[in-house]
Amino acid sequence: MFWRVFKTKLKVLLRNKSCLFWVLIFPFIMAILFNAAFSGLNAMKESKSSKVAVVQDALSENSEWRMFFKELDKHKSFEISFTSAENAKKKLDDGEVQSYIDFKDDKAHLFIKENNIGQTLIKNALDQYAELNTTAAAIAQTSPEYLMREDGFSKIMTEDFVKDDNTEHTDFTVNYFFTLMAMAALYASLIGIELTKNNEANLSTKGARLSVSPTNKTMVMVADLLVGFVVCSIQQLVLYFFIRFVLGVQMAAEPGWTLLISMMGVLAGLSLGIFVGASNKKSEGLKNGLLISVIMLCCFFAGMMGDPILRDKFETMMPLFAKVNPIAAIADGYYALFAYNGDMEYYWQAFARIAIFAGVMLALSLVLSRRKRYDSI
């Protein structure tokens, strides 16, 4: 009997086009959009050179400034061009350079039009020049021969004393995909609302018919829940492989653990939908709107929309909400698999958070749905 009800409910769900759109198609559309939009972010992470024009009118051929800028041009962070004063101003106005430097009484004057990394870099380079001059003057008083040596002061200026040591997972754009998968899991709540509508006597004629039929209501609800759970879990697995292998986004390499937390997220979504569906008699449109708004808000606080650093700011401002937010809990589970190289403690903490959320929602839904009697409908 149970499996017959299960098969029937599966057929009904697969014919519900609007539900299927939200659960099966919308996450894939968003994944494609994200991948297209965020590929530019990966390019932004690589720095661009600071383009600087140097006015050469007041500089002699052997000027120390000229030698300094020629050395600076060899650095990957700068593109130095020597030009006339008029041309430099024009280049700045046209946006060809980010700044230009003119000289008066051997003092550098920096001209800029906006406040950005490029301008800061050239200003710091000029500060460094002044500082090294002071250092050279101090060395000249105690060990002038060091300044003359070939392997002396001029050599040290070309050495690199800062090593980059990036062994961590630093691609912050994956958080958008983590939150997308979490959102897709929580969209199972729309199936939960549909489930409640079909099983509650005061919400639909189908529900009224079910309540007077001899079929065990609990068995029907469990079958309905299982159908939603199976369909959404398959969707989560397919979405994971789509994001990882088709879009080429660097996700966690453990599909098993990823699916496990996704399935708990699906259960949380279903129970959230049942809770919202059973908690009031408002129209289906309003309930769906409310659910989607709540899920989008949770997605926003988990860092899905806007600057990636906002997620950390919200976690600092509202730590309790960050712990309770189901989207953040699922995304944290994915992050633990992505970044912590086999250390499962953080993963299980995230799993526990979403499991507690699902448990609370299920318990509340049970309280609202069980043993209802109606004088009239």
Find the binding residues for other proteins in span 105-134 (CB under 8 A): 107-117, 119-121, 123-132, 134
Instruction: Select 156 or 367, whichever has its Cβ closest to other proteins.
Output: 156
Q: Which of 343, 344, 359, 363 binds other proteins (CB under 8 A)?
A: 343
Instruction: Select 220 or 298, whichever has its Cβ closest to other proteins.
Output: 298
Q: Which of 270, 296, 285, 278 is nearest to 357 (CA)?
A: 270
Instruction: Select 55 or 220, whichever has its Cβ closest to other proteins.
Output: 55
Q: Residue 116 phi/psi, 5° resolution?
A: -145, 180
| 164 in contact with other proteins (CB under 8 A) | yes
Instruction: Select 228 or 267, whichever has its Cβ closest to other proteins.
Output: 228
Q: Are 100 and 55 in contact (CB under 8 A)?
A: yes
Interior CA angle at 241 toward 329 and 225, to 5°?
60
Output the smallest distance, CB 168 to other proteins, in A. 5
Interface residues for other proteins in 237-296 (CB under 8 A)?
Answer: 285-286, 288-290, 292-293, 296
Output the smallest distance, CB 91 to other proteins, in A. 13
| 138 in contact with other proteins (CB under 8 A) | yes
Instruction: Compute the distance between CA of residue 229 and CA of residue 249 in angstroms, rounded to an integer.
Output: 26
Sign of CA dihedral 243, 245, 247, 249: positive
Interface residues for other proteins in 317-336 (CB under 8 A)?
Answer: 335
Q: Which of 23, 68, 18 is nearest to 266 (CA)?
A: 23
Q: Which of 7, 70, 209, 313 binds other proteins (CB under 8 A)?
A: 313
3-state secondary structure 262-326: HHHHHHHHHHHHHHHHHHCCCCHHHHHHHHHHHHHHHHHHCCCCCCCHHHHHHHHHCHHHHHHCH
Instruction: Select 185 or 223, whichever has its Cβ closest to other proteins.
Output: 185
| 7 in contact with other proteins (CB under 8 A) | no
Instruction: Compute the distance between CA of residue 114 and CA of residue 50 in angstroms, rounded to an integer.
Output: 13
From the list 153-161, 214-222, 260-268, 355-363, the region that binds other proteins by CB under 8 A is 153-161
Interface residues for other proteins in 17-76 (CB under 8 A)?
Answer: 17-18, 21-22, 26, 29-30, 33-34, 36-41, 43-48
Output the smallest distance, CB 3 to other proteins, in A. 29
Sign of CA dihedral 148, 150, 154, 159: negative
Instruction: Compute the distance between CA of residue 279 and CA of residue 273 in angstroms, rounded to an integer.
Output: 10
Instruction: Compute the distance between CA of residue 276 and CA of residue 233 in angstroms, rounded to an integer.
Output: 21
Instruction: Select 46 or 150, whichever has its Cβ closest to other proteins.
Output: 46
Output the smallest distance, CB 148 to other proteins, in A. 11
DSSP code string of 18-85: HHHIIIIIHHHHHHHHHHHHHHHHHHHHS--PEEEEEE-TT--TT-HHHHHHHHHHTSTTEEEEEE-H
Output the smallest distance, CB 11 to other proteins, in A. 19
Instruction: Select 240 or 314, whichever has its Cβ closest to other proteins.
Output: 314
Instruction: Compute the distance between CA of residue 346 and CA of residue 340 in angstroms, rounded to an integer.
Output: 8
Q: Which of 61, 150, 307, 375 binds other proteins (CB under 8 A)?
A: 307
Interface residues for other proteins in 207-236 (CB under 8 A)?
Answer: none
Q: Which of 234, 238, 309, 377 binds other proteins (CB under 8 A)?
A: 309
Instruction: Select 183 or 264, whichever has its Cβ closest to other proteins.
Output: 183
Output the smallest distance, CB 316 to other proteins, in A. 10
Instruction: Compute the distance between CA of residue 19 and CA of residue 359 in angstroms, rounded to an integer.
Output: 24
Interface residues for other proteins in 167-206 (CB under 8 A)?
Answer: 167-172
Other C-beta atoms lying within 10 Å of the C-beta of residue 324: 15
Instruction: Select 271 or 288, whichever has its Cβ closest to other proteins.
Output: 288
From the list 6-14, 66-74, 151-159, 223-231, the region that binds other proteins by CB under 8 A is 151-159
Cβ neighbours of residue 239 closer than 8 Å, sequence gap 6 or more:
27, 28, 31, 181, 184
